[in-house]
Amino acid sequence: MNSIMKQIRNLALLITLFTMVTVGLQAQNDPDEKEWIQIFNGKDLDGWQPKFRGYELNDNFLNTFQVEDGILKVRYDNWTSAFGGQFGHLFYEDKFSHYILRAEYRFVGEQVSGGPGWAFRNNGLMLHGQSAESMGKDQDFPISIEVQLLGGNGTDERSTVNLCTPGTNVVMDGKLRTAHCFNSASKTFHGDQWVTAEVKLLGDSLTHFVNGEQVMAYGGAQIGGGVVSGHDPSLKIDGKLLTDGGYISIQAETHPTDFRKIEVLNLEGCMDKTAKNYKSYYVKADNSKCVF
C-alpha cells in the first residue's frame, strides 16, 4: 500500500513539474509579449558614442552628456565660454529599420550662453541617421530624420514631436516636401513636465505620437535637401529612400534636457511561427534570426 501511495505521489509530482515547465515555456515564448529594448540602461552611457562638431568621435565635450540618478542628462555646467556652434549628438550603437522608439523627456534650467534663439527648449531624436563613424569632424548634424522636441516658453503655443529634415526630405499628401521643419498637431508643454514621445518607423514611413496620441504621419523619407554641412558628399545620395533605416541619436542643442527612458520595440525579426522566438507583432521578416 505504501509503495502504491509513493508511486501516486511521484506521478503527481511529475505532472506538477511538467505543468510548471510547460507553463514556463509558454510564457517565455509568448508570441504576443512585446520585448522592449532599454537602449538607455539608466546607469551609464554604455552603447552610446558622443560626437560634437569640431571634435573627434567619443570626445564627450565638457562632459555635456551625463548620467545621474537614472537620468540621461544634457548639461552645460562646464561650459565657461559662450556656445560657438559645437552641436552635439549621442549615437546608439545598433541600427534599426522597422521599430517603435519611445522616449520620456523634459527640459530644465537655462539655455547655455550664446545658444541660438530657435534652440531654446529644443532637442531632437535623430532617426534613420548615418553612423557616428561616418560623421565629419566639422559636421553639424547627421543626415537623418529629426523628431524635434520643443518645450513651451510659458506663454505661446509651441508644438512638440515635430519633424525637421537635416539632409533629408519626406512625402506628405502625395507631394515631396523640401521645407526644413513641419509642426505636429500636439499641444504645448510648458515648464519642466515630462513628456512621452513615440515614433513608429516602418522603413521610410513614420508616425509620431505624443503621450499616446498621434500627431503626425508621413512617408517617402529620403536623403535630399540641405541644412547639413561638413559631411562627406559621397554619403548624401539625394533621392535615396531610407527604407533600410539607420542609427538613433539624441542632441545637445544648447538647452539642458533630461531623458529618463529611451526604449525600442524592434518590429523586424523571426516570422516563422514554428520558431521559439517568433513574434506576432513583427512586420518585417528576418528569418536568419529564428531559433528552433
Q: Give the Cα separation of 97 and 216 in Å (integer).
A: 19
Half-sphere exposure of 27 (CA within 13 A, CB side): 6
Instruction: Note whether residue 282 is domain-resident.
Output: no
Residue 179 lies in a domain: yes
Domain residues for 213? Answer: 37-268
pLDDT in tens, 133-164: 999 999 999 999 999 999 999 999 999 999 99
Residue 52 has pLDDT above 70, yes or no: yes
Residue 23 has pLDDT above 60, yes or no: no
Residue 219 lies in a domain: yes
Do 17 and 122 belong to one domain?
no
Cα separation of the two ends of the chain: 45
How far, rounded to the nearest angstrom, does the alpha carbon of residue 151 sit from its chain's CA centroid? 18
Max alpha carbon distance in the chain (Å)?
A: 90
| Total count of domains within the chain | 2
* 17 and 104 share one domain: no
Amino acid identity, position 259: F
Asked, for residue 218, whether it belongs to a domain, the answer is yes
pLDDT in tens, 91-142: 999 999 999 999 999 999 999 999 999 999 999 999 999 999 999 999 999 9
Nearest to 243 by CA among 95, 132, 103, 122: 95
